[in-house]
């Protein structure tokens, strides 16, 4: 063979960096006795009633494809849920689409709106997939850097500075992964003002909307005049503890939804049927379990963030998700050095903030979706680690 592998792989894919989180998972997985605060998923098993609904659907033989957009009954439940929880109105027949996780929803949203060379604003520190998904859609991710001293809140002036005639959209994520920061109604309204002024679209990733602990949650399309400009992405992975089910959804005005559905028809066809039956049950009867999980995360957040501050890792109180994002600047180490040494010396896995973008440097992401005992042990080990530095 005269060609190298590189010849066959597209330039776009060649340019993508492998996910920085993976390297730490692989290292942690090869060690024994590691407390992992690294993974971004709930530590709960999906509610039994949801699993049972899925099993029942299989017993009844519901094993064929569903409609491309998803089971109508599920779309009706999603519409009722969005209305009940966030005062949002979407039509099940034309404005909702069931996807394979929020991940596919993000991919569809970007591919449906991006022309080659369009710029999409990504807020850093950011979920690791946004930049690569924009690039795979043919666009250019343009990063806006939020600031630890400002609790990583996105401010309108920061967006305005980087808008160009090619700016097509802004990806918002509140509550945020990795910072846990939640934007309140006033902060969202200020961003909406800029969005309207510059005629942008917004992809609002609200996958952690169920997991907020201090204030009532505001969904971005609920802000005045934003519904028509927003592609709302959400799903079942986090709030309903259903990561492995691979089920999400998208809500958007008909014109945008139709465009996404076109891609979905040719690529995925439909989300897994049995998972859709489980999700119907989650939305119909899952509220109590979600409340209990939320309370449990809140208790753990309060303990963990207070303890981080007590051992000298300054950390703002994150309003949502299940991540703490403490500063490690006082240690003089880079986030990668800190994470690697903490893992090797004390067997605690955290994720270096630098994998979430330049403004994540100086911080590490710790998921507190672990038992209280594990969190207590992790704090003990981190304290010992810090005392040696």
Span from 100-108, 134-142, 291-299, 304-312 in contact with ligand PMP (CB under 6 A) = 100-108
Handedness of CA 31, 34, 38, 41 (dihedral sign): positive
Least distance (Å) between residue 359 CB and ligand PMP: 16
Q: Does 318 bind ligand PMP (CB under 6 A)?
A: no
Q: Does 103 bind ligand PMP (CB under 6 A)?
A: yes
Q: How far apart are CA 259 and CA 291, in angstroms?
A: 35
Nearer to ligand PMP, 86 or 236 (CB): 236
Q: How far apart are CA 147 and CA 132, in angstroms?
A: 22
Q: Identify residues 174-203 at the interface with ligand PMP (CB under 6 A).
A: 177
Q: Does 260 bind ligand PMP (CB under 6 A)?
A: no
Structure tokens at 280: 């119907």
Least distance (Å) between residue 205 CB and ligand PMP: 5
Other C-beta atoms closer than 10 Å to the C-beta of 96 total 24
Least distance (Å) between residue 25 CB and ligand PMP: 13
Among 35, 37, 40, 90, binds ligand PMP (CB under 6 A): 40
Contact assessment for residue 245 and residue 236, using Cβ atoms and an 8 Å cutoff: yes
Least distance (Å) between residue 243 CB and ligand PMP: 5
First to last CA, the chain: 52
Site residue total, ligand PMP (CB under 6 A): 13
Least distance (Å) between residue 102 CB and ligand PMP: 3
Distance of alpha carbon 338 from its chain centroid, rounded?
24
Structure tokens at 387: 């005392």
Q: How far apart are CA 206 and CA 236, in angstroms?
A: 11
Among 92, 131, 180, 235, binds ligand PMP (CB under 6 A): 235
Q: How far apart are CA 111 and CA 120, in angstroms?
A: 12
Q: Does 127 bind ligand PMP (CB under 6 A)?
A: yes
Other C-beta atoms closer than 10 Å to the C-beta of 321 total 30
Span from 98-106, 143-151, 334-342, 348-356 in contact with ligand PMP (CB under 6 A) = 98-106
Q: How far apart are CA 26 and CA 49, in angstroms?
A: 34
Residue found under tokens 């910072």:
179
Among 77, 95, 119, 205, binds ligand PMP (CB under 6 A): 205
Q: Which residue minimizes CB distance to ligand PMP?
A: 101
Span from 5-13, 95-103, 109-117, 217-225 in contact with ligand PMP (CB under 6 A) = 95-103
Return residues touching ligand PMP (CB under 6 A): 40, 101-103, 127, 173, 177, 205, 207, 235, 237, 243, 248
């Amino acid at each position: 063979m005269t060609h190298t592998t590189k010849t066959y792989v597209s330039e776009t894919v060649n340019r993508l960096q492998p996910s920085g989180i993976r390297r730490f998972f692989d290292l942690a997985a090869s060690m024994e006795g590691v407390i992992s605060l690294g993974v971004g998923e709930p530590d709960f098993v999906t509610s039994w009633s949801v699993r049972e609904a899925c099993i029942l659907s299989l017993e009844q033989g519901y094993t064929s494809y569903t409609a491309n957009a998803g089971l109508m009954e599920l779309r009706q439940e999603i519409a009722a849920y969005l209305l009940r929880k966030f005062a949002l109105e979407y039509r099940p027949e034309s404005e909702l689409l069931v996807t394979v996780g929020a991940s596919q929803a993000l991919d569809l949203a970007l591919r449906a709106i991006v022309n080659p060379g369009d710029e999409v604003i990504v807020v850093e520190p950011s979920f690791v997939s946004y930049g690569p998904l924009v690039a795979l859609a043919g666009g250019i991710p343009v990063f806006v850097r939020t600031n630890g001293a400002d609790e990583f809140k996105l401010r309108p002036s920061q967006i305005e500075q980087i808008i160009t005639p090619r700016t097509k959209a802004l990806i918002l994520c509140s509550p945020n992964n990795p910072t846990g920061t939640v934007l309140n109604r006033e902060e969202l309204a200020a961003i909406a003002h800029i969005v309207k002024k510059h005629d942008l679209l917004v992809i609002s990733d609200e996958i952690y909307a169920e997991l907020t602990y201090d204030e009532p949650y505001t969904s971005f399309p609920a802000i005045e005049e934003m519904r028509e400009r927003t592609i709302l992405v959400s799903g079942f992975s986090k709030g309903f503890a259903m990561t492995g089910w691979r089920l999400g959804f998208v809500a958007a005005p008909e014109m945008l939804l139709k465009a996404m559905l076109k891609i979905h028809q040719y690529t995925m066809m439909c989300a897994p049927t049995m998972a859709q039956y489980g999700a119907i049950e989650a939305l119909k009867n899952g509220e109590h379990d979600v409340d209990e999980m939320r309370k449990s995360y809140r208790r753990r957040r309060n303990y963990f963030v207070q303890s981080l501050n007590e051992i000298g890792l300054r950390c703002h109180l994150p309003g949502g998700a299940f991540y703490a994002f403490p500063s490690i600047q006082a240690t003089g180490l880079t986030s990668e050095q800190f994470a690697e040494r903490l893992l090797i010396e004390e067997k605690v896995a955290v994720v270096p903030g630098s994998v979430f973008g330049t403004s994540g440097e100086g911080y590490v992401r710790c998921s507190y979706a672990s038992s209280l005992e594990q969190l207590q042990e992790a704090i003990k080990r981190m304290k010992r680690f810090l005392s040696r530095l």
